[in-house]
Structure 1
Amino acid sequence: MCGNAMSSQIDPVTVSASGKHTATVIFLHGLGDTGHGWSYALSEIRQPHIKYICPTAPKMPVTLNEGYEMTSWFDLYTLNIGGREDEAGIKKAAALVQGMVEEEEKGGIPSNRIVLGGFSQGGALALYAAFTLEKPLAGMVALSSWLPLHESFPDAMKVNNESPILQCHGDMDPVVPYKFGQMTKSVLSKMCSNYTFNTYPGMMHSSSAKEMQDVKEFLDKVLPAV
């Protein structure tokens, strides 16, 4: 299945470093989206030493959307708290993302110069992949997101409980409700020593200029030029 996911995945959109490449951001889009939109958003806040990789998920039938086929990192059965989760799919997708970290390492970028991030379903996968990775990361970014398979933590946690985390959520989000973000905060703030949660009043299931500025400041801090 991992191989199928890899083969059906569209080549990632990459915003190359404009200077000497010393750090990488891997950013995962939300359900039904592609890497293109986020590659544009990240290019607006880019730093010359950072490469930004925005992969596109494979297409699959999504139970939440009545089996309609769309780009999705894993199946979604429900957005209800405590609802059934696609554990096998989440773990397979996490292995795919962890493989991208390894590819960057082969290219000379150590894991502690790599940030995993994402929006909505992509942010959920980024958190799970980071926490189950056995290598230290520079940090994590989760926008309008949640922690999947949360009951498996902290037991499933490997080494990234001390890596900086920026979680952002709009308090008017109708898709991934703000209370999901708050519940994730209650788990992560106990589990992780370097954690920030930002609330954006009036923001729905989207991003904003203020949020992207906060992401830029976070990336500048955890991936400084060397």
Structure 2
Amino acid sequence: MCGNIMSASLPAIVPAACRATAAVIFLHGLGDTGHGWAEAMAGIRTPYVKYICPHAYVLDIFYYTPPSEIHNGLRLVRWPIKALIDQEVKNGIPSHRIVLGGFSQGGALSLYTALTTHQKLAGVVALSCWLPLRNSLSKSMISNNKDISVLQCHGEADPLVPLIFGRLTVEKLKVMLNPSNITFKTYSQMPHCACPEEMMDIKQFIKKQLPKIN
């Protein structure tokens, strides 16, 4: 859970313990697969929530990547995410009952997707990441997710994606979205990975954004 790769195999899934009325789609980081995060999600699972952790295609979207390549890569890789959302809608879970999230590169992609998709989502969990193309994004580009809730988390000792990237991202998000819906949490001495405190914060955010329904 401390890295980022993506292969085209079927996603790792943690099924709901009862009838699934909500879903979380969580994207891993570079050099990783969905299996590690599926195991992590199983540890904080909510009974009526289905957790989907796809294995992504290789994509490098760090800040030093040329902007044109970032844009083209994001545009291409965003479609499988849209397809996953559409599939859950077909399965009976509306998009507004779906939280999109990710770690590092996966978190960057989840933020970018939430801001640019027409699918209304329940929320975004963005871990140890940044907002790609933040200088070219504007309020006018956001359609159905202007009031989306975002949980952004970052380790204060992250050597790969420095904390300043997270701070710049949350500043931009508060300009583009309703600032009262943006939560930014940092974790002392945490490097480029997750910690138990962070996982509990994620669990509480998911329960709040995806409350139980009859």
Task: Calculate the TM-score normalised by the size of structure 2.
Answer: 0.91
Partner of 2:32: 33
| CA drift at 1:171 | 1.1
Partner of 1:200: 187
Q: Which has the higher contact order (CA 8 A, sep 6+)?
A: 2
| CA drift at 1:152 | 2.6
**Do the aligned residues in 2 keep the contact of 1:124 with 1:148 (CA within 8 Å)?**
yes
| CA drift at 1:98 | 1.2
Among 102, 115, 125, the alignment partner of 2:109 is: 125
Structure 1 consecutive aligned stretches of length 4 or more whose deviation exceeds 3 Å: none
Paired residues, what number? 203
Partner of 1:14: 13
What stretches of structure 2 of length at least 5 have no aligned partner?
Answer: 1-5
Partner of 1:66: none
Alpha-carbon distance between aligned partners in 1 of 2:108 and 2:164, rounded to the nearest angstrom: 15
- Choose 149-158 or 126-135, whichever is displaced more: 149-158
SS in 2 for 1:150: coil
SS in 2 for 1:202: coil
| CA drift at 1:215 | 0.3
Could you list the per-position Cα deviations for residues 8-58 of structure 1 after superposition, in whole angstroms to 9, with x for gaps in the alignment?
Answer: 611100111110110000000000100000000000000110000000012
Partner of 2:134: 150
What stretches of structure 1 of length at least 5 have no aligned partner?
Answer: 1-5, 59-71
| CA drift at 1:172 | 0.9
1:87 aligns with 2:74: no
Alignment of 1:26-175 (within 5 A): 26-58=25-57, 72=58, 74-76=59-61, 78-80=62-64, 84-85=66-67, 86-154=70-138, 155-175=140-160
Partner of 1:3: none
| CA drift at 1:95 | 1.7
SS in 2 for 1:206: coil
SS in 1 for 2:154: strand
Partner of 2:3: none
**Do the aligned residues in 1 keep the contact of 2:28 with 2:102 (CA within 8 Å)?**
yes
**Do the aligned residues in 2 keep the contact of 1:189 with 1:195 (CA within 8 Å)?**
yes
- Choose 143-152 or 155-164, whichever is displaced more: 155-164
**Do the aligned residues in 2 keep the contact of 1:124 with 1:146 (CA within 8 Å)?**
yes
**Do the aligned residues in 2 keep the contact of 1:139 with 1:164 (CA within 8 Å)?**
yes
- The Cα RMSD (Å) is 1.4
Among 158, 168, 180, the alignment partner of 2:165 is: 180
Q: Percent identity?
A: 48
Alpha-carbon distance between aligned partners in 2 of 1:201 and 1:192, rounded to the nearest angstrom: 27
